[in-house]
Amino acid sequence: MSRTRWIGLGAWSLGLAPGLLLLIRLLGDQLGANPVEELTHESGRWALRLLLASLAVTPLRQQLGLAWLAPLRRTLGLLGFGYAALHLAVYAVLDQGLAWEFVLEDLSERPYIAAGFMSFVLLLPLAITSTRGWIRRLGRRWTRLHQLVYAAATAAVVHFVWLVKADLREPLAYASVLTALLAFRVLRAARKKLSVGTASA
């Protein structure tokens, strides 16, 4: 097996491990006094962590010159989307018991739910167009489209900040990671423009 294959396999296994652990804890009644809440929180956090990890791949690859990191971006992104879908399913089925009038009320009246929903809606087309076929079909537009992942991550962080009652440490830690990743992109783009400008002068 090639190195890329091994890395892909490793990433999938590591990424699926938290879900497997949740399942084991669920089956063993080890999710604490409020299992639905624990499932919601764990799935939400892993969605966000994997999304941010996916966003960190390109900067790491560029800075370290490790080209083989590249495929991880898609793997981690898809895993993140998977946890987001699980998170949404737990919310709709277990937390709300599929009571649509309450779900709709949440969506329309609770900004933090709306932000989470927005994040999910932004991730959906990215997950769908993550295949080779779509990448080929969309060409350059694919890159533009997939920049939406920054909007999705931002909406997810806002979602987290808004739902906390008093202790902001954790959501702000995620916010600082996202800010750093965004800053890296912006600075790099700016530097590129600058060097292009000087070269043509």
* Closest distance to other proteins from the beta carbon of 123 (Å): 20
Here the tokens at position 151 are: 């909007």
Give whichever of 45 and 134 is closer to other proteins, judged by the CB atom: 45
Reading phi first (left if > 0) and then psi (alpha if -120 to 50, else beta), residue 2 is in beta
- The residue range among 33-41, 78-86, 118-126, 192-200 that interacts with other proteins, by the rule CB under 8 A, is 33-41
Q: Taking CB under 6 A as the rule, does residue 52 contact ligand HEM? A: no
Q: Does residue 120 interact with ligand HEM by CB under 6 A? A: yes
**Quick one: which segment of 15-23, 47-55, 66-74, 177-185 binds ligand HEM (CB under 6 A)?**
47-55
Of the CA atoms within 13 Å of residue 11, those in its CB half-sphere come to: 23
49 is a site residue for other proteins (CB under 8 A): yes
> For residue 50, what are its two tokens?
């994997």
Residue in the block written with tokens 């949440």: 106
Which of 187, 160, 175 is closest to 52 using CA atoms? 175
The size of the interface with other proteins (CB under 8 A), counted in residues, is 48
* Nearer Cβ to ligand HEM (78/84): 84
Whether the Cβ atoms of residue 14 and residue 49 lie closer than 8 Å to each other:
no
CA–CA separation, 76 and 150 (whole Å): 14
Candidate list 2, 3, 27, 64; residue touching other proteins; CB under 8 A: 64
Map the footprint of ligand HEM across residues 19-38, applying CB under 6 A: 37
Torsion angle, alpha carbons of 164, 170, 174, 176, to 10: 110
End-to-end Cα distance, the chain? 49
Cα distances (Å, whole numbers) of residue 114 to 40, 55, 164, 195: 16, 23, 15, 41
Residue selected from 53, 76, 84, 126 as contacting ligand HEM according to rule CB under 6 A: 84
List the single partner that 145 binds among ligand HEM, other proteins, none, CB under 5 to 8 Å by kind. none
Task: Give the footprint of other proteins on residues 72-111 (CB under 8 A).
Answer: 94-97, 102, 105-106, 109-111
Q: Where do contacts with ligand HEM occur on this chain (CB under 6 A)?
A: 37, 40-41, 44-45, 47-48, 51, 84, 87-88, 91, 113, 116-117, 119-120, 156, 159-160, 163
